[in-house]
């Protein structure tokens, strides 16, 4: 049995990995803590680590993992902005990911955020639980005939585009590699920002996309624009977002991710004083809806993540090829 140190483990992870790992000859050591240079020692005597979006796979962590004999890092997610691929190569640690687990899950969550904000169902839910059935202040807006800008037309972006087109919206897309067969109208990012009533982000976080939605970008947006982000938090300059929500430039924002989420998301911090003033103020706004990086959280996605991750690890230990391996020349380092 090959031993795996499984960091940032949750109960919903165990349900699906426990069903597959033993049959694949994997012994999983579940650890609730995140992977950091300090916690890397917990992987001692393990051949591989399994990591998630907020685990640290930077150079210092990778160096320590290498000292402890770790030979592989299996990401149970698609994004890999938290991995220094060049350092992994230097330390002889091979890195694998789950490139696609359930595009529909993330796209549906983005659509749910958008519909909740346009029809204010989150506010109505709170009111009616208190037996307040007044409709004052709950006037919504249709998606029909609106322009929805979709930034990134990979599997998730294409699914989301199809959903909003079903509501009668016009889709304007932006991607360095356009999917011309999808029947979408493509435009440069600056044009998309100027023309869109809704902007939804479906692109990876790289040095080139860090703060893609910058203070300057907000300036060029339409008044009352709705912003949706189910990709990575640092695509948006959070302080600039807060300022534009307060000024009214941004009509609403639906965020499943946040650029400083690592110490907050996936945890119950309800009894702690949260020192992130930007997040505190965003949460206090009636037109901002924040979920805790849960767009992936469906039964179908969790099953697919476990299947692909276990398959990646088994292929590694068997010495076979896998198309899901990341190499430094193919990605960006942190």
Domain tally for the chain?
2
Same domain, yes or no, for 277 and 319?
A: no
Specify whether 128 is located in the same domain as 272.
Answer: yes
Do 160 and 231 lie in a common domain? yes
Give the span between the Cα atoms of 68 and 140, in whole angstroms: 56
Mean per-residue pLDDT of the chain:
95
Does pLDDT of 332 surpass 90? no
CATH code for position 321:
3.40.50.720
- C-alpha 334/C-alpha 332 separation (Å) is 7
- Looking at the fold, whether 120 and 241 belong to one and the same domain comes out as yes
Question: Do residues 113 and 205 both lie within one domain?
Answer: yes
Written as six digits, the tokens of 215 are 């203070």
pLDDT of residue 328: 86
Q: Integer distance in angstroms from the first to the last C-alpha of the chain?
A: 32
- Over residues 113-134, the pLDDT tens digits come to 999 999 999 999 999 999 999 9
Q: Is 232 marked active-site?
A: yes
CA 9 to chain centre: 17
Secondary structure letter of residue 236 according to DSSP: B
117 shares its domain with 181:
yes
Of the listed ranges 176-180, 190-194, 326-330, the least confidently predicted one is 326-330
Tokens representing residue 80 in the block? 């890999």
Residues 68 and 193 in one domain: no
Pair (285, 306) in one structural domain: no
Are residue 85 and residue 132 in the same domain, yes or no?
no
314 is catalytic: no
Model confidence pTM above 0.75: yes
Report whether 9 contacts 31 (CB < 8 A).
yes
Q: Which of 97, 232, 259, 314 is labelled catalytic?
A: 232
At residue 201, φ and ψ (nearest 5 deg) are -100, 125
The verdict on 75 and 178 lying in the same domain is no
248 token code pair: 């009214």
**Across 329-334, average pLDDT:** 44
Residue of 34, 109, 170, 293 marked catalytic: 293
Question: What is the average pLDDT across 87-104?
Answer: 95
293 assigned to active site? yes
pLDDT greater than 70 at residue 333: no
Mean pLDDT of 310-316: 97
Residue range of the domain that includes 91: 2-101+298-330
286 and 146 share one domain: yes
Least confident of 42-46, 109-113, 325-329: 325-329
Residues 155 and 227 in one domain: yes
Exactly one of 261, 275, 303, 323 is catalytic; which is it? 261
């Amino acid at each position: 049995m090959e031993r795996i140190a499984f960091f940032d483990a949750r109960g919903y992870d165990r349900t699906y990995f426990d069903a597959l790992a033993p049959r694949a000859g994997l012994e999983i050591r579940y650890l609730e803590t995140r992977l950091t240079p300090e916690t890397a020692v917990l992987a001692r005597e393990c051949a591989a680590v399994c990591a998630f979006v907020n685990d640290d796979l930077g150079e210092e962590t990778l160096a320590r993992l290498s000292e402890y004999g770790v030979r592989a890092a299996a990401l149970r997610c698609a994004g890999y902005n938290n991995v220094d691929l060049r350092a992994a190569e230097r330390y002889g640690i091979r890195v694998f990911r789950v490139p696609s687990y359930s595009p529909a899950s993330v796209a549906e969550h983005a659509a749910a955020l958008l519909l909740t904000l346009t029809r204010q169902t989150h506010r109505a839910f709170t009111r009616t639980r208190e037996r307040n059935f007044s409709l004052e202040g709950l006037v919504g807006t249709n998606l029909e005939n609106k322009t929805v800008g979709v930034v990134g037309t990979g599997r998730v972006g294409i699914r989301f585009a199809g959903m909003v087109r079903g509501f009668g919206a016009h889709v304007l897309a932006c991607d360095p590699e356009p999917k011309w067969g999808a029947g979408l109208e493509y435009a440069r990012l600056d044009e998309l920002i100027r023309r869109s009533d809704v902007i939804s982000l479906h692109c990876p976080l790289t040095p080139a996309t860090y703060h893609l939605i910058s203070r300057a970008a907000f300036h060029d947006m339409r008044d009352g624009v709705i912003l949706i982000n189910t990709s990575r938090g640092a695509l948006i300059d959070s302080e600039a977002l807060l300022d534009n929500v307060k000024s009214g430039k941004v009509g609403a924002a639906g965020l499943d991710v946040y650029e400083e989420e690592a110490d907050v998301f996936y945890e119950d911090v309800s009894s702690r004083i949260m020192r992130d003033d930007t997040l505190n103020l965003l949460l206090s706004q009636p037109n901002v809806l924040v979920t805790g990086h849960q767009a992936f959280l469906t039964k179908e996605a969790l099953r697919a993540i476990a299947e692909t991750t276990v398959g990646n690890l088994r292929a590694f230990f068997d010495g076979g090829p896998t198309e899901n391996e990341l190499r430094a020349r193919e990605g960006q380092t942190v």
